[in-house]
Chain A
Amino acid sequence: MLRYLLRRIMLIIPTFVGVTLLSFTLIHLVPGDPIEARVGERGIAPERLAQLRAEMGYDQPMWKQFLDYERQVVSGDLGLSTVTHQPVWHEFLSLFPATIELSVCAVSFAVLIGIPLGMIAALRRGTAFDFGLMGASVTGASMPIFWWGLMMILVFSVSLGWTPVSGRVSDMYFVEPWSGFMLLDCWWSDDEGACRSAASHLILPTIVLGTIPLANFARMTRSSMLEVLGEDYVRTARAKGLSDVRVNVVHALRNALIPVATVIGLSIGGLLGGAILTETIFAWPGVGHWIIESIQARDYPVLQGGTLLIAIIVIGVNLGVDVMYSVLNPRIRR
């Protein structure tokens, strides 16, 4: 197990270098150099420009600049935002909990509803329930979530007035940001109204971001479950005289979840992509919202650093998924 983990971590290194190379290259594709971009229309004396270039290392050959960049990244220096002049790393850290909170809620929503639905559809295959669920899930998987979010706001917030339109908590409440996770902070602040407000702000974004994963998990669980139900060990479990629930959940679902777990892990990347849209629609102050704003403000250090950090997080999540997979599937355990 330890050796497997070590080998897996070694494999990350070339990917990491590739990711930094890509983010380095992309930024250098921006027309003009970063200093000109920052100076903008005001203009600058040529001597001053040359001096700045030398200071920031832009007169160096490309490979040298890349090595410098790589060194900075490894030491955790991602530059300063050109808008707020704050370190990119700090801004990311302060916003990331909001994104995690939303993503965790969305994945939990999708898992807790999608997997049982997929299992029931498999057990009742060919029935109206099965057809209905499969129809709904292919529709869910085809959903343009930016529109879906707007429709939900239109119905539940504007017409019915059940849920708030945007943000994480009502302005009425001030919550000390201990952890950055609004629900936890509200919990600790012991303010029931704030808790309720934070939870109600989470409902729509969770559903919107969770829709596509929900559809995928339900479909995957169903097909995986159908495969497993034909296995010999399920028949053995029945032959033991176990109850249907025990046969279907403890024996069949446990095995059916192995491929589903991979799909859940692989959906994290898509989820962060979806978070960009969801956060934009609901003005959710997370990393996705921040990156879109950085584009509008031409804040390239934020764009570059934010993207890189998200990629690094995905690498970490993928590693976690691999480890989880080996825990879940005894056959590949070493």
Chain B
Amino acid sequence: MALLEVRNLAVEFTSSRGRFRAVDGVDVTIDSGDVLCIVGESGSGKSVSMLAAMGLIAWPGKVTADVLRFDGTDLLSLTPAQRRKVVGKDIAMVFQEPMTSLNPCYPVGWQIAEALRAHHAVPSSKVRDRVVELLDHVGIPDPGRRMNNFPHQMSGGMNQRVMIAMAISCNPRLLIADEPTTALDVTIQKQILDLLVDLQKKHGMALVLITHDMGVVAETAHRVQVMYAGQMVEEAATETLFAAPRHPYTAALLDALPERAMGRARLPTIPGVVPGIDDRPTGCLFNPRCGLADALCSSTAPGLSGEVGARARCHRPLGGAA
């Protein structure tokens, strides 16, 4: 049985301008010990789908799914109180902006201790020791002193380590990291990624890594899902995806990698932008930007084809028909 199983997830926002589907038809399957990367441009719905799985979509957002199960429990049918027993304990999340994701009014150690207390992870007498241990574990020097610091007294990289310590404090079985390195200096990014992968291996957690960086995917992921405009357009094992992408969008993303563009005069780019609320094309959402699009692509929306775990949402997949 999969640890997290999501089928046909959709998230809709209603505003004065009408309804907008931020996420549509997303499937996710992840087992313990797995590392899954979700890639896509900004606005492709990759964060929203994971926030929805955590139950963090606030009103007026609306979440629907055929299946949304964690370890056999249907998350959608849980009461808020029951859900809170899972969220933060068995599923934890690390966010993109470490500087704003920690509460500026409390010392960082207090904020970790709060998570421990909320889930009774350790006896109250042991909370302080556990906080020090966690901070040490994520590589914060002098944790006994640092735990009394406020977030504004620490660097972005240090704050992200605190966020990670907080996320792993209750030994979660699934850790979701939403672009955990985007807001950090390039030199720090690698350290944080290594830390995450390291922790994942040590604890045997499942890790969902949301990123827009194909380089990160190549280094860390076992499996990859590519998102475009709120839809999952391709899923595959990492080696397969890099060796033989099937969706033209995946191929374009890979072509845009500097390593692959060696010897060319210019780095290839994908023309156009991800469609927004008002400019959804008919047919395949990618067709206006796709070099292979034909009449079918601009009239009919393609479904996912292939087996679960190796599918593409395309009428004209690369490397032959699915």
Contacts and interface: CB of A to CB of B under 8 A. Distances in A.
A–B contact at 8 Å CB threshold (below):
yes
Interface of A: 231-233, 235-244, 246, 251, 254-255, 329-331
A243 B84 contact: yes
Cβ-closest 5 pairs across A and B: A241-B88, A240-B88, A232-B100, A233-B103, A241-B84
B150 A330 contact: yes
B152 A241 contact: no
Q: What secondary structure prevails in chain A residues at the interface with B?
A: helix
B186 interface: no
Nearest to A231: B100
B54 interface: yes
A246 B103 CA distance: 13
B93 A239 contact: yes
Contacts of B95: 232, 235-236, 239
Contact of A240 (B97, B150, B166): B166
A129 to B, nearest CB: 15
A237 B102 CA distance: 9
Contacts of B85: 241
Contacts of B80: 244
Contacts of B101: 232-233, 235-236
Given A236-B95, A330-B105, A330-B152, A241 B86 contact: yes
Given A233-B100, A241-B88, A241-B89, 9 more contacts: A233-B103, A236-B95, A236-B101, A237-B103, A241-B83, A241-B115, A251-B103, A330-B150, A331-B104
B84 A242 contact: yes
Give the most central of A232, A236, A255, A330: most B CB within 10 Å: A236
Contacts of A232: 95, 97, 100-101
A237 B118 CA distance: 11
B87 A239 contact: yes
B102 A233 contact: yes
Interface in B216-261: none
A30 to B, nearest CB: 51
Contacts of B87: 238-241
Interface of B: 54, 56, 80-81, 83-89, 92-93, 95, 97, 100-105, 114-115, 118-119, 150, 152, 163, 166
B103 A255 contact: yes
A242 B88 contact: yes
B114 A242 contact: yes
6 contacts: A232-B100, A233-B100, A233-B101, A242-B88, A242-B118, A330-B150
A333 to B, nearest CB: 8
Nearest to B97: A232
A244 B59 CA distance: 14
A331 B84 CA distance: 30
B296 to A, nearest CB: 41
Contacts of A254: 103, 105
Given A330-B152, A331-B152, A236 B103 contact: yes
Contacts of A233: 100-104
A235 B97 CA distance: 12
Nearest to A328: B105
A154 B289 CA distance: 75
Contacts of B163: 236
A239 B115 CA distance: 10
B97 A241 contact: no
A84 B87 CA distance: 72
A230 B74 CA distance: 28
A241 B102 contact: no
Contacts of A329: 104-105
Given A242-B84, A255-B105, A331 B150 contact: yes
Contacts of A244: 80
